[in-house]
Structure 1
């Protein structure tokens, strides 16, 4: 067997061209620079105080009710389980819930089909009554009450709308 010699390494691995010394056409291309500009350090002043927002008096208007002082909330005029204060309303809600909800929707200046066509309509209606009349509460509370006690919720909203419309004495309006 005879040994054959391999060609020198330059044949297999040519050196990369020198891009820095190459001249480029006149269209403005420049090869990428491998030199980075020196880092610039920016100093920030420490935060010594938080910005203060200015409070404004906001007027909320919902379904004809105007809240001139939205920061002062009141309780509902009747309790959730106050059905004995208005037996007629309680019986209407119990015996014919769809009709009762349609009537309640109309009283709230909503479409009579709201309660049967809009998912979560009862909760939305309760939130509307609560917000329009500056009643204490939260959306989470409204969700739980409308889910667990829908008939009691409907009756309470009806009593609230009646009491607000009549401005009954001794009802903390």
Structure 2
């Protein structure tokens, strides 16, 4: 026997709770390839404190971005520590940058993870170029993208 035709999706029942924030907080148009970044690569002035920190200590911003993203992915809510300060990812980035000047490789890989979570257009080549040629701007752009999702949660979470 065939199932009856349903014209609308079922509604939420009491006790159901939506999990997760808005991954496209600025409601940018989506195409099959994805959407654009919510802020441009050189929109660093939108978050001057993160931009300054990314220029002076990129390892800290890298570690914060990575921890905030991983927390969102695993817990479905913003990191209450806002990424912390000097976590293990920060120390690894600092060591690789200090010894080999190659911290941008870690940034490139994390940038791909950020793009994937937010369905942002682009690819490995663009991630490589932005992380290598303008790492502070790329780190700030990623931080802003993560912050938009964090702010979309109830309570208006603000990155510290």
TM-score, normalising length: structure 2? 0.55
**Aligned residue pairs, count:** 104
What pairs with 1:68-107 in structure 2 (closer than 5 Å)? 71=32, 73-107=34-68
Which residue of the partner structure matches residue 129 of structure 2? 144
Q: Which has the higher contact order (CA 8 A, sep 6+)?
A: 2
Which residue of the partner structure matches residue 142 of structure 2? 157
Q: Given that residues 80 and 152 in structure 1 are in contact (C-alpha distance below 8 angstroms), is that contact kept between their aligned partners in structure 2?
A: yes
Query: Which has the higher Rg, Structure 1 or Structure 2?
Result: 1
- Hey, what's the Cα distance between the residues in 1 that align with 2:92 and 2:69? 11
- Hey, what's the Cα distance between the residues in 1 that align with 2:61 and 2:130? 18
Q: Given that residues 21 and 152 in structure 2 are in contact (C-alpha distance below 8 angstroms), is that contact kept between their aligned partners in structure 1?
A: no
- Hey, what's the Cα distance between the residues in 1 that align with 2:142 and 2:134? 12
Q: Given that residues 62 and 93 in structure 2 are in contact (C-alpha distance below 8 angstroms), is that contact kept between their aligned partners in structure 1?
A: yes
Distance change in 2, residues 1:163/1:90 (3 Å): same
Single out whichever of 148-157 and 109-118 deviates more from structure 2. Answer: 109-118
Which residue of the partner structure matches residue 115 of structure 1? 93
Give the structure with the higher percent helix: 2
What pairs with 1:20-31 in structure 2 (closer than 5 Å)? none
- Hey, what's the Cα distance between the residues in 1 that align with 2:22 and 2:52? 31
Structure 2 unaligned blocks of 5 or more: 1-19, 24-29, 72-87, 97-101, 154-160
Write the deviation string for residues 29-85 of structure 1: whole angstroms up to 9, x where unpaired.
xxxxxxxxxxxxxxxxxxxxxxxxxxxxxxxxxxx7899x99461110000000111
Q: Given that residues 70 and 134 in structure 1 are in contact (C-alpha distance below 8 angstroms), is that contact kept between their aligned partners in structure 2?
A: no
- Hey, what's the Cα distance between the residues in 2 that align with 1:126 and 1:114? 16
Could you say what the CA RMSD is over the residues aligned between the two structures, in angstroms? 3.1
- Hey, what's the Cα distance between the residues in 1 that align with 2:32 and 2:95? 33
TM-score, normalising length: structure 1? 0.51
Distance change in 2, residues 1:115/1:109 (3 Å): farther
